[in-house]
Copies of this chain bind each other. A is one copy, B any other.
Amino acid sequence: MALIVHKYGGTSMGSTERIRNVAKRVAKWVRAGHQLVVVPSAMSGETNRLLGLAKELSPEVVTAPIQRELDAIAATGEQVSVGLLSIALQSEGMEAVSYSGWQVPIRTDSSFTKARIQSIDDARVRADLAAGRVVVITGFQGVDEEDNITTLGRGGSDTSAVAVAAAMKADECLIYTDVDGVYTTDPRIVPEARRLSTISFEEMLEMASLGSKVLQIRSVEFAGKYRVPLRVLSSFTPWDIDINEEAKSGTLITFEEDENMEQAVVSGIAFNRDEAKVTLLGVPDKPGVAFQILGPVADANIDIDVIIQNVSHDGRTDFSFTVHRNDYARALDLLKNKVAPATGASQVLGDAKICKVSIVGIGMRSHVGVAAKMFRCLSEEGINIQMISTSEIKTSVVIDEKYMELAVRALHKAFDLDQPAEN
């Protein structure tokens, strides 16, 4: 008997018919002898509907007291889901009980609309499991110290599921979603892309943060921190497929580095075209200039990703960084009108037509020459590299966005990702 956490997304919960299928799948796991905690999202479209009503009443101003109300309103979507799923489970002959975040309780800080989980008291849930019940818990939400309802932000149900699994030391947390696992890269760009049967949580973290939108990144961080075995698998398989087959499907995100992982130097190719590049030319190269540039950017709440500063010539250097495209205009404006005059930079350039392509692999740690192989591959395709950024298990390049698909395909092939590497 294992303790298993299932998480179902909004699409899986999209109608009473689908909720019934979720109940049948959960019942199958219970009948196989497992204890089940289920964390469903709101029915698809519901969160948007609710927040849309709120927006009609306060289209622009969003103060903290209004955010508090938005959380209380949005949280109802999951409250309805857990109630409906509990009823569906009872119709399947299971004993089941639902809890909202505050009933568990799942304690969070008071950052409305983007709260962080602080603690989970699992006593009540454990008692229900011991009594033979399936426990259905709302995702996406918790309660702060003053009993205000909080939400964790978009995609927060993944984090809720992992946090519950961590608090209860669950044997595995299964994230049922609309893809059947994590791939070496996006199959829409590289048809030869393969599903990975395992991936380390560090690689998953890089893949997730680079745009593989399989899992909310915070849930992966959580899984890594608390060593929760996490599996991403398809919610589109028939509910009555063999449970042993289902239990091995999808992609397992592990925190153990086994031999298989050592074999694959690069596990996947990630990419993203949400960024834009800005450059300050001719910045006087003196202590404190990086802070002079990035301080005002941070103050304006603009997130920075890749930063490049090259060696200087004649006491002047060029300074580049990337921001989210949504912040591009604001960043450019800030540099031109505030930062350049203050630092004495000679010119401000910007380019929104860029993309970032990365190779990710825990094997890179113990293999030299991986980055070099990447650069050679891109060079052979005639792709100019504009910026480079590296970490222990990732090398990213910024290139012209028109080369994105070409770069991803070439790298996927160069690192043999189209060949079955695992066994």
Name A residues whose Cβ lies closer than 8 Å to a Cβ of B.
16, 19-20, 50, 53-54, 56-58, 61, 63, 65-66, 68-70, 72-73, 75-76, 79-80, 82-84, 86-88, 90-91, 95-98, 100, 102-103, 147-149
Of all chain B residues, the one with the shortest Cβ separation from A20 is B57
Can you identify 17 A-B contacts, CB atoms within 8 angstroms? A53-B84, A54-B84, A57-B84, A57-B88, A61-B90, A61-B91, A63-B90, A65-B96, A68-B97, A70-B83, A70-B87, A72-B82, A72-B98, A72-B100, A75-B79, A76-B76, A76-B80
**Closest approach, in angstroms, between the C-beta of A318 and any C-beta of chain B?**
47
A73 touches B68 (CB 8 A): no
**Copies of the chain in the assembly:** 2
Q: Return chain B residues, CB-CB under 8 Å to A90.
A: 58, 61, 63, 65-66, 69
A56 touches B98 (CB 8 A): no
**Closest approach, in angstroms, between the C-beta of A48 and any C-beta of chain B?**
14
Q: How far is the CA of A112 from the CA of B65 in the complex (A)?
A: 32
Q: Return chain B residues, CB-CB under 8 Å to A80.
A: 50, 53, 73, 76
**Closest approach, in angstroms, between the C-beta of A5 and any C-beta of chain B?**
20
Q: How far is the CA of A266 from the CA of B102 in the complex (A)?
A: 52
Q: How far is the CA of A148 from the CA of B70 in the complex (A)?
A: 23
Q: How far is the CA of A189 from the CA of B54 in the complex (A)?
A: 42
B66 touches A87 (CB 8 A): yes
Q: Return chain B residues, CB-CB under 8 Å to A68.
A: 97
Of all chain B residues, the one with the shortest Cβ separation from A82 is B72
Q: Return chain B residues, CB-CB under 8 Å to A98.
A: 69, 72
Q: How far is the CA of A253 from the CA of B120 in the complex (A)?
A: 48
Q: Return chain B residues, CB-CB under 8 Å to A19.
A: 57
Q: How far is the CA of A88 from the CA of B56 in the complex (A)?
A: 9
